[in-house]
Amino acid sequence: MRLVETVRELQALADAERAMGRRIALVPTMGALHAGHVALCELARRCADRVWVSIFVNPTQFDQPEDLARYPRNLPADLECCRRAGVDAVFAPPAHELYPAGAQTWVEVAELSRGLCGASRPGHFRGVATVVAKLLLAAKPHVAVFGEKDFQQLAVVRRLARDLCLDVEIVGAPIVREADGLALSSRNARLDAQARCEALCLSRALDAAEREVAAGERSAARVLALVARELAAAARAELDYAELRDPETLAPAREPLTGPVLLALAVRFRTPDAAVRLIDNRVLTPPLRERRDEATEAIP
Protein backbone atom coordinates (compact mmCIF):
# COMPACT_ATOMS: atom_id res chain seq x y z
CA MET A 1 0.00 0.00 0.00
CA ARG A 2 1.34 3.39 -0.99
CA LEU A 3 1.12 6.47 1.23
CA VAL A 4 0.87 9.75 -0.70
CA GLU A 5 1.07 13.16 0.95
CA THR A 6 1.19 15.65 -1.93
CA VAL A 7 -1.26 16.56 -4.67
CA ARG A 8 1.45 16.49 -7.31
CA GLU A 9 2.44 12.90 -6.45
CA LEU A 10 -1.18 11.74 -6.40
CA GLN A 11 -1.94 13.34 -9.75
CA ALA A 12 1.15 11.69 -11.27
CA LEU A 13 0.05 8.32 -9.88
CA ALA A 14 -3.44 8.83 -11.30
CA ASP A 15 -2.02 9.70 -14.72
CA ALA A 16 0.10 6.52 -14.68
CA GLU A 17 -2.83 4.29 -13.67
CA ARG A 18 -5.10 5.83 -16.29
CA ALA A 19 -2.42 5.42 -18.97
CA MET A 20 -2.42 1.69 -18.20
CA GLY A 21 -6.19 1.56 -18.58
CA ARG A 22 -6.93 0.99 -14.89
CA ARG A 23 -10.04 2.35 -13.21
CA ILE A 24 -9.54 4.27 -9.98
CA ALA A 25 -12.06 4.46 -7.14
CA LEU A 26 -11.64 7.04 -4.40
CA VAL A 27 -13.14 6.76 -0.91
CA PRO A 28 -12.90 10.19 0.76
CA THR A 29 -12.76 10.03 4.59
CA MET A 30 -11.76 12.10 7.58
CA GLY A 31 -10.08 9.12 9.24
CA ALA A 32 -11.16 7.40 12.47
CA LEU A 33 -11.97 4.50 10.17
CA HIS A 34 -14.44 1.78 11.14
CA ALA A 35 -16.38 -1.07 9.53
CA GLY A 36 -18.55 1.38 7.64
CA HIS A 37 -15.51 2.75 5.84
CA VAL A 38 -14.35 -0.80 5.10
CA ALA A 39 -17.73 -1.43 3.45
CA LEU A 40 -17.16 1.66 1.28
CA CYS A 41 -13.79 0.22 0.23
CA GLU A 42 -15.38 -3.13 -0.61
CA LEU A 43 -17.93 -1.41 -2.82
CA ALA A 44 -15.15 0.66 -4.41
CA ARG A 45 -13.26 -2.55 -5.23
CA ARG A 46 -16.28 -3.82 -7.15
CA CYS A 47 -16.28 -0.61 -9.19
CA ALA A 48 -12.59 -0.27 -10.06
CA ASP A 49 -9.15 -1.82 -10.39
CA ARG A 50 -7.50 0.46 -7.82
CA VAL A 51 -8.99 1.59 -4.51
CA TRP A 52 -7.65 4.78 -2.97
CA VAL A 53 -8.66 6.27 0.38
CA SER A 54 -8.13 9.88 1.34
CA ILE A 55 -7.69 10.71 5.03
CA PHE A 56 -8.04 14.40 5.74
CA VAL A 57 -9.80 16.15 8.60
CA ASN A 58 -11.14 19.08 6.63
CA PRO A 59 -11.03 22.23 8.78
CA THR A 60 -13.38 24.27 6.58
CA GLN A 61 -16.44 22.09 7.20
CA PHE A 62 -16.42 22.57 10.98
CA ASP A 63 -18.52 25.45 12.24
CA GLN A 64 -17.27 25.00 15.83
CA PRO A 65 -13.48 25.10 16.49
CA GLU A 66 -13.86 22.85 19.53
CA ASP A 67 -15.58 20.21 17.37
CA LEU A 68 -12.61 20.25 15.00
CA ALA A 69 -10.18 19.97 17.93
CA ARG A 70 -12.04 16.98 19.39
CA TYR A 71 -12.38 15.09 16.11
CA PRO A 72 -10.58 11.71 16.55
CA ARG A 73 -7.26 11.32 14.74
CA ASN A 74 -5.15 8.16 14.62
CA LEU A 75 -3.34 7.87 11.30
CA PRO A 76 -1.33 4.69 12.16
CA ALA A 77 -4.53 2.85 13.07
CA ASP A 78 -6.26 4.16 9.94
CA LEU A 79 -3.39 3.02 7.73
CA GLU A 80 -3.51 -0.45 9.28
CA CYS A 81 -7.27 -0.57 8.64
CA CYS A 82 -6.64 0.35 5.00
CA ARG A 83 -3.97 -2.36 4.65
CA ARG A 84 -6.35 -4.99 6.00
CA ALA A 85 -9.05 -3.76 3.62
CA GLY A 86 -6.73 -4.17 0.62
CA VAL A 87 -6.53 -0.46 -0.20
CA ASP A 88 -3.92 0.30 -2.87
CA ALA A 89 -3.05 3.88 -1.89
CA VAL A 90 -3.82 6.35 0.88
CA PHE A 91 -3.76 10.10 0.34
CA ALA A 92 -3.08 11.79 3.70
CA PRO A 93 -2.02 15.37 2.94
CA PRO A 94 -1.14 18.12 5.40
CA ALA A 95 -3.62 20.99 5.46
CA HIS A 96 -1.40 23.31 3.41
CA GLU A 97 -1.50 20.89 0.46
CA LEU A 98 -5.24 21.42 -0.01
CA TYR A 99 -5.39 24.93 1.41
CA PRO A 100 -2.19 26.74 0.36
CA ALA A 101 -1.33 30.08 1.90
CA GLY A 102 -3.71 32.76 0.66
CA ALA A 103 -6.33 30.27 -0.59
CA GLN A 104 -9.55 32.12 -1.47
CA THR A 105 -11.48 29.81 -3.81
CA TRP A 106 -14.68 28.14 -2.65
CA VAL A 107 -17.22 25.75 -4.16
CA GLU A 108 -20.83 26.04 -3.04
CA VAL A 109 -23.90 24.04 -4.01
CA ALA A 110 -26.47 26.64 -3.12
CA GLU A 111 -29.93 25.10 -2.78
CA LEU A 112 -29.10 21.57 -1.65
CA SER A 113 -26.91 23.00 1.12
CA ARG A 114 -29.88 24.78 2.71
CA GLY A 115 -31.92 23.18 5.47
CA LEU A 116 -31.26 19.96 7.39
CA CYS A 117 -27.59 19.96 8.45
CA GLY A 118 -26.98 23.15 6.51
CA ALA A 119 -29.40 25.08 8.71
CA SER A 120 -27.62 24.34 11.99
CA ARG A 121 -24.07 24.21 10.62
CA PRO A 122 -23.48 27.40 8.62
CA GLY A 123 -20.75 27.06 6.03
CA HIS A 124 -20.49 23.30 6.53
CA PHE A 125 -21.44 22.27 3.02
CA ARG A 126 -19.35 24.99 1.43
CA GLY A 127 -16.39 23.37 3.17
CA VAL A 128 -17.52 19.90 2.10
CA ALA A 129 -18.04 20.88 -1.54
CA THR A 130 -14.71 22.70 -1.68
CA VAL A 131 -12.64 19.87 -0.25
CA VAL A 132 -14.42 17.20 -2.32
CA ALA A 133 -13.72 19.19 -5.50
CA LYS A 134 -10.05 19.42 -4.49
CA LEU A 135 -9.84 15.69 -3.73
CA LEU A 136 -11.46 14.74 -7.05
CA LEU A 137 -9.06 17.00 -8.95
CA ALA A 138 -6.10 15.57 -7.05
CA ALA A 139 -7.01 11.87 -7.38
CA LYS A 140 -8.64 11.97 -10.83
CA PRO A 141 -10.83 8.94 -9.99
CA HIS A 142 -13.31 7.29 -12.30
CA VAL A 143 -15.56 6.56 -9.29
CA ALA A 144 -15.94 8.16 -5.86
CA VAL A 145 -17.83 6.34 -3.10
CA PHE A 146 -19.73 8.11 -0.31
CA GLY A 147 -21.93 6.68 2.45
CA GLU A 148 -25.68 7.27 2.42
CA LYS A 149 -25.70 8.06 6.15
CA ASP A 150 -24.67 11.58 5.14
CA PHE A 151 -27.59 11.75 2.72
CA GLN A 152 -27.49 15.51 2.22
CA GLN A 153 -23.73 15.41 1.66
CA LEU A 154 -24.18 12.73 -1.00
CA ALA A 155 -26.79 14.88 -2.75
CA VAL A 156 -24.48 17.90 -2.63
CA VAL A 157 -21.57 15.92 -4.08
CA ARG A 158 -23.69 14.48 -6.89
CA ARG A 159 -24.91 17.96 -7.80
CA LEU A 160 -21.36 19.31 -7.65
CA ALA A 161 -20.08 16.63 -10.04
CA ARG A 162 -22.92 17.31 -12.50
CA ASP A 163 -22.69 21.09 -12.33
CA LEU A 164 -18.90 21.20 -12.76
CA CYS A 165 -18.95 18.55 -15.53
CA LEU A 166 -16.53 16.38 -13.59
CA ASP A 167 -15.67 13.08 -15.27
CA VAL A 168 -16.44 10.95 -12.22
CA GLU A 169 -19.26 8.64 -11.16
CA ILE A 170 -20.56 9.30 -7.65
CA VAL A 171 -21.70 6.09 -5.96
CA GLY A 172 -23.73 5.93 -2.74
CA ALA A 173 -23.19 3.07 -0.29
CA PRO A 174 -25.88 1.79 2.13
CA ILE A 175 -25.65 2.65 5.83
CA VAL A 176 -23.74 0.11 7.93
CA ARG A 177 -25.13 -0.47 11.42
CA GLU A 178 -24.09 -2.07 14.68
CA ALA A 179 -25.92 -5.25 15.65
CA ASP A 180 -28.33 -3.19 17.78
CA GLY A 181 -29.15 -0.80 14.93
CA LEU A 182 -26.96 2.23 15.66
CA ALA A 183 -25.48 3.64 12.46
CA LEU A 184 -21.69 3.40 12.44
CA SER A 185 -20.02 6.78 12.91
CA SER A 186 -16.61 8.02 13.99
CA ARG A 187 -18.47 10.15 16.55
CA ASN A 188 -19.88 7.08 18.32
CA ALA A 189 -16.56 6.69 20.13
CA ARG A 190 -17.28 9.96 21.98
CA LEU A 191 -20.51 8.62 23.52
CA ASP A 192 -20.41 7.52 27.15
CA ALA A 193 -22.30 4.35 28.14
CA GLN A 194 -25.62 6.09 28.82
CA ALA A 195 -25.52 8.22 25.68
CA ARG A 196 -24.58 5.15 23.62
CA CYS A 197 -27.68 3.38 24.93
CA GLU A 198 -29.92 6.39 24.36
CA ALA A 199 -28.58 6.86 20.81
CA LEU A 200 -30.64 3.82 19.81
CA CYS A 201 -33.65 6.16 19.81
CA LEU A 202 -32.56 7.16 16.28
CA SER A 203 -32.94 3.70 14.77
CA ARG A 204 -36.08 3.04 16.85
CA ALA A 205 -37.67 6.21 15.47
CA LEU A 206 -36.76 5.21 11.92
CA ASP A 207 -38.13 1.70 12.44
CA ALA A 208 -41.39 3.01 13.87
CA ALA A 209 -41.88 5.50 11.03
CA GLU A 210 -41.09 2.84 8.44
CA ARG A 211 -43.71 0.51 9.91
CA GLU A 212 -46.35 3.24 9.98
CA VAL A 213 -45.78 4.33 6.39
CA ALA A 214 -45.66 0.72 5.18
CA ALA A 215 -48.98 0.14 6.97
CA GLY A 216 -50.56 2.98 5.02
CA GLU A 217 -50.00 6.13 7.10
CA ARG A 218 -49.93 9.06 4.69
CA SER A 219 -49.87 12.05 7.03
CA ALA A 220 -46.43 13.63 7.36
CA ALA A 221 -47.53 15.33 10.58
CA ARG A 222 -48.54 12.04 12.21
CA VAL A 223 -45.32 10.33 11.11
CA LEU A 224 -43.23 13.15 12.57
CA ALA A 225 -45.27 13.11 15.79
CA LEU A 226 -44.48 9.40 16.15
CA VAL A 227 -40.80 10.12 15.56
CA ALA A 228 -40.85 12.89 18.18
CA ARG A 229 -42.30 10.49 20.79
CA GLU A 230 -39.58 7.93 20.14
CA LEU A 231 -36.82 10.52 20.39
CA ALA A 232 -38.31 12.09 23.53
CA ALA A 233 -37.79 8.79 25.36
CA ALA A 234 -34.04 9.54 25.45
CA ALA A 235 -33.48 11.87 28.40
CA ARG A 236 -30.15 13.25 27.19
CA ALA A 237 -31.17 13.70 23.55
CA GLU A 238 -31.63 17.20 22.11
CA LEU A 239 -33.35 17.26 18.73
CA ASP A 240 -31.65 19.25 15.98
CA TYR A 241 -34.13 18.23 13.28
CA ALA A 242 -36.53 15.48 12.21
CA GLU A 243 -37.81 16.15 8.71
CA LEU A 244 -39.46 14.44 5.78
CA ARG A 245 -37.93 15.37 2.44
CA ASP A 246 -38.07 14.39 -1.21
CA PRO A 247 -35.19 11.91 -1.62
CA GLU A 248 -34.22 13.37 -5.00
CA THR A 249 -34.48 17.13 -4.51
CA LEU A 250 -34.44 17.34 -0.67
CA ALA A 251 -37.45 19.65 -0.92
CA PRO A 252 -39.96 19.31 1.96
CA ALA A 253 -42.26 16.32 1.44
CA ARG A 254 -45.79 17.08 0.27
CA GLU A 255 -48.97 15.97 1.99
CA PRO A 256 -50.16 13.30 1.62
CA LEU A 257 -47.17 10.96 1.40
CA THR A 258 -47.74 9.22 -1.92
CA GLY A 259 -44.23 8.08 -2.86
CA PRO A 260 -40.83 7.35 -1.34
CA VAL A 261 -39.87 9.98 1.24
CA LEU A 262 -36.63 10.60 3.13
CA LEU A 263 -36.87 10.75 6.92
CA ALA A 264 -33.74 12.60 8.10
CA LEU A 265 -32.75 12.93 11.75
CA ALA A 266 -30.08 14.82 13.66
CA VAL A 267 -29.85 14.59 17.45
CA ARG A 268 -27.30 15.83 19.99
CA PHE A 269 -26.56 13.62 22.99
CA ARG A 270 -25.19 15.25 26.11
CA THR A 271 -22.08 13.61 27.59
CA PRO A 272 -19.87 14.72 30.51
CA ASP A 273 -17.41 16.25 28.02
CA ALA A 274 -19.62 17.76 25.33
CA ALA A 275 -22.64 17.17 23.11
CA VAL A 276 -22.19 14.54 20.39
CA ARG A 277 -24.27 15.12 17.28
CA LEU A 278 -25.44 12.03 15.38
CA ILE A 279 -27.37 11.81 12.13
CA ASP A 280 -29.36 9.00 10.56
CA ASN A 281 -31.95 8.57 7.83
CA ARG A 282 -34.13 6.16 5.95
CA VAL A 283 -36.19 6.30 2.78
CA LEU A 284 -39.76 5.34 3.67
CA THR A 285 -41.95 3.78 1.00
CA PRO A 286 -45.77 3.75 1.02
CA PRO A 287 -47.49 0.48 0.04
CA LEU A 288 -47.04 -0.30 -3.64
CA ARG A 289 -50.76 -1.04 -4.08
CA GLU A 290 -51.75 2.45 -2.94
CA ARG A 291 -49.24 4.05 -5.27
CA ARG A 292 -50.60 1.99 -8.18
CA ASP A 293 -54.17 3.01 -7.30
CA GLU A 294 -53.24 6.69 -7.29
CA ALA A 295 -51.40 6.38 -10.58
CA THR A 296 -54.50 4.76 -12.09
CA GLU A 297 -56.77 7.52 -10.75
CA ALA A 298 -54.52 10.14 -12.29
CA ILE A 299 -55.06 8.75 -15.79
CA PRO A 300 -57.85 10.77 -17.54
Q: Hey, where are the domains in the chain?
A: 2-173, 186-284
Contact at 8 Å (CB) between 260 and 228? no
Radius of gyration of the chain (CA): 20
Active site residue 37: yes
CATH class of 2-173: alpha beta
Q: How far apart are CA 138 and CA 8, in angstroms?
A: 8
Single pTM value for the model: 0.93
Q: Which of 34, 37, 96, 124 is catalytic?
A: 37
Compute the distance between CA of residue 143 and CA of residue 14 in angstroms, rounded to an integer: 12
Predicted local distance difference test score (pLDDT) of residue 296 = 45
**81 near 229, Cβ under 8 Å?**
no
What pLDDT score does 289 carry?
61
Q: How much is the pLDDT for 288?
A: 77
Q: Do the first three CATH levels of 2-173 and 186-284 match, i.e. the same topology? A: no
The confidence score (pLDDT) of residue 122 equals 93
- Residue 292: the pLDDT is 52
Q: Could you say which residues of the chain have pLDDT below 50?
A: 291, 295-298
Residue 300, pLDDT score? 57
pLDDT digits 0-9 by tens, 63-74: 889 889 989 999
Considering only CA atoms, which of 291, 224, 294, 237 is closest in space to residue 269?
237
Distance CA 183, CA 102 (A): 38
Check residue 100 and give its pLDDT: 97
How far from 158 is each of 123, 173, 211, 263, CA to CA, in Å?
Answer: 18, 13, 30, 19
CA–CA separation, 26 and 54 (whole Å): 7
Helix (H, G, I), strand (E, B) or coil at 235: coil
**String of DSSP letters for 241-287:** EEEEE-TTT-PBPPSS--S-EEEEEEEEEE-SS-EEEEEEEEEE---
CATH architecture of 186-284: 2-Layer Sandwich (3.30)
Length of the chain: 300
CA separation for the pair 45, 25 (Å, rounded) = 7
Closest CA to 113 of 127, 103, 99: 127
